Structure 1
């Protein structure tokens, strides 16, 4: 009887865990449409065109009186978003770990971001400042929500399942991005048939991503459950809690070393994602329809890449698989420098290369980091992790924007990002991940 009871309890726990995992996947499905349709495809070229319409005779706009080349405004706005996120994410993560109430914080962040994205419908004429503000709010909100979302991974998946669960989450996100991009492509290419201008079609595509984000967020909010914890102290001083988190991370130097490596190479990944459409439109002279098809190709192949690299990790370990992907990223980016203008076929080849390594490198990084986080500190640690995730990095877009501002060449700007992948490879190769898992007090998986 006792054995039967234990088995029944274990079966109930497994069923509950699977239910939470399925709900967890859907948040990737919900918010990845923003990353794809807004950040990667439409907003970069569109906001750049809006900024150019507001520029002076020398091609500069003047937000807050600062002269900025119109072609750099989007990249600078992405950088500004992470500055805001850096202040908010650790505080939200500390509050979530201290109270155990992640869901209300996740809901708040998700719906602020969704509302800002839906508000992009009103971005027309020369309202580049409105576009920059909405981008900053949406990106910072995404960062906060993803930090909280990622922190569920150690709680809903045992160590041996995390690579697979994380990879499935990314696959769900890329599948959603593909589905919505098909609808975007139909609307954009046939906008005359719908009685819409090109600008109106773009604004509808932007706003629909916010509506999608908000609607599907209801699913994980129903499926995920809070793990209540006893308060560990007064909840009045967020900055004191942030300082405590930083001190705690210093006691986990190997976890910190991995985080540094991830911050560097993921900065490069996210900058490629956020600036590729600007590179394609401004430097290669490709039209919006070509860019949509290219990003759609990335999304479709990223699903296969995420699942395929998850399988490779079971054989070779997550660390080796990530290192291999960084070599592929470096080669792909180097090839991008030499792409001929006005040649969409070669741009599609480049997109295919990006897609095959994109999802897997991100999914495996997330699952590998989950093994290095001390129990009970998931949200705090994933807040630090999220500072360089999902296009929130500031150094890469800043370098991209500065390189273009100084040289006037997007080719020089794109090749400057190779440094992130090379340095990230070196830093990750030096991290003894098995020792890092043990130091964090977690069970050591068979392969990592």
Structure 2
């Protein structure tokens, strides 16, 4: 039977239930339903906290603002010269995204291995969440032509976001049983979109009415960027109070010894991945198609302002629409996954993403209606694609090694796209056309679709030693 609490939370109880707080495949542990619901709600609040960075900073304000700041430092031909390199001012932001993710490729798997070695998920979440939040607050001081300061703070914040999310995602098998993860993961994403949307709505008021507040437009943007860091820091307190480490943390080990053991554990994980071909194939598929998803999300505001000649207020309104539509979309796709299977729903969403990218190439310059309609479609599939991918991957991860595996997964999750921004930036660098750059992203969804079709999920779940969910 189930015990249903507020907000639709369902906790399995009874003699045949596998407690959601028990690692996958383990039975017999007793988890108090009230305590479990408390942890889940705390877990949801971290998505509420850090989604402000994704919506306000990454998706809306920083791309256009950084292009403007870099433009103020550019030469007569529109080029800046960081470290002696020749870079178009408008390509600084996508290159900054790429640099941050190259660093994540090196750091996130090590972070995951270190978490599993030490057992300190909660402490790692706190460390990197606050590092990212304070770096985001620092964007307030990136004015004038200080594009290197803005780019550097963004790179630091994005790296911290990824490291914190490794710990955050690794909590999912601890708080949700095999048949509950699609729903729990979808609620987390949906709650995050509400939080990110609420702060974005407040920032929209500040931006549109900046004259009424006695602010310049640039100051309104700087305040909005800093507000995302304040929001992130404040609401992270809730999950830190409610989440707990589900295995005893190591004591008496030096920091150097822990790091060394983390690197050793990473080597073990890499060898283990080679022995799990299904998990490895899914991870490859996800890294490719989600790279396309994240690149579209990250660079949509820049595309709208620079290519479609839409005002910043239109872009903010569209992104705000996406946030609230994505809340419903995440819950809807979670329900569809329960009925038709998680992989099938994700595959369908990839078809929708392909259509979105192709249609975006044809949008008329200055057409607000076309852009808003396309934004609504993105909102419907965005949350579900990400939430269901996370829950599906959790079934393919061996018990006790969730953070290690999510360290690789997080390389292309939630604003940490890897190859996509590089492809976009080089296409823009070569063609000087945003339309050519955006349509180049189709390849990510096509290749990701083909690879995901080849993933034998039931086999992968069995290889990981986990119970098979009712539908995959």
TM range (shorter): over 0.9
Match of 1:415 in 2: 439
2:258 equivalent in structure 1: 235
Q: 1:188 aligns to what?
A: 207
Matches within 5 A, 1:15-414: 15-229=34-248, 235-237=258-260, 238-414=262-438
Indicate if the aligned counterparts of 1:306 and 1:363 stay in contact, CA closer than 8 A: yes
Deviation string for 1:279-307 (max 9, x for gaps)?
A: 00000001110000000111111001000
State whether residues 428 and 437 of structure 2, in contact with CA within 8 Å, keep that contact through their aligned partners in structure 1: yes
How many angstroms does 1:6 deviate by? 12
CA distance in 2, matches of 1:391, 1:5: 42
Contact 2:310–2:368 (CA<8 Å) still a contact in 1?
yes
C-alpha distance in structure 1 between counterparts of 2:467 and 2:382, whole Å: 28
Distance 1:217 1:89 in 2: 20
Q: Any idea what SS the aligned residue of 2:245 has? A: coil
Where do 5+ consecutive residues of structure 2 fail to align? 1-12, 20-27
**Cα offsets for 1:263-289 (capped at 9, x unmatched):** 000000000000000000000001110
- C-alpha separation in 2, matches of 1:4 and 1:353: 41
Where 2:153 maps in the other structure, the secondary structure is helix
Distance 2:162 2:381 in 1: 22
Per the TM alignment, residue 227 of structure 1 is displaced from its structure 2 partner at its CA by 2.2
Task: State the alpha-carbon separation in 2 of the partners of residues 343 and 180 from structure 1.
Answer: 26
Provide the secondary structure at the position in 1 that maps to 2:32.
Answer: helix
Aligned-pair distance for 1:394?
2.0
Task: Name the TM-score, length of structure 2 as normaliser.
Answer: 0.92
- What is the CA distance between 1:336 and its match in structure 2? 0.5
- Structure 1 runs of 4+ aligned residues shifted over 4 Å read 3-12, 229-234
Unaligned segments of structure 1, at least 5 residues: none
Which digits, 9 at most, give the CA deviation of each residue in 1:165-197, with x for residues without a partner? 000000010001111111111100000000000
Task: Identify if the C-alpha distance between structure 1 residues 40 and 423 changes in structure 2 by more than 3 Å, giving closer, same or farther.
Answer: same
Q: C-alpha distance in 1, partners of 2:95/2:307?
A: 18
Q: Is the 8 A contact 1:99 1:228 kept in 2?
A: no
Instruction: Please tell me whether the aligned partners of residues 101 and 227 of structure 1 are also in contact (alpha carbons under 8 angstroms).
Output: no
Structure 2 distance, partners of 1:4, 1:324, is 36
What's the CA shift string for 1:123-167, capped at 9, x where partnerless?
Answer: 110000001101100000000001110000011100111000000
Residue 252 (structure 1) shift: 1.1
Alpha-carbon RMSD: 1.9
Structure holding more helix per residue: 1
Shift of 1:230: 7.4
State the TM-score, normalizing by the size of structure 1.
0.97
Paired with 1:145 and 1:11, the residues of 2 have a C-alpha distance of 28
Count, aligned residues: 446
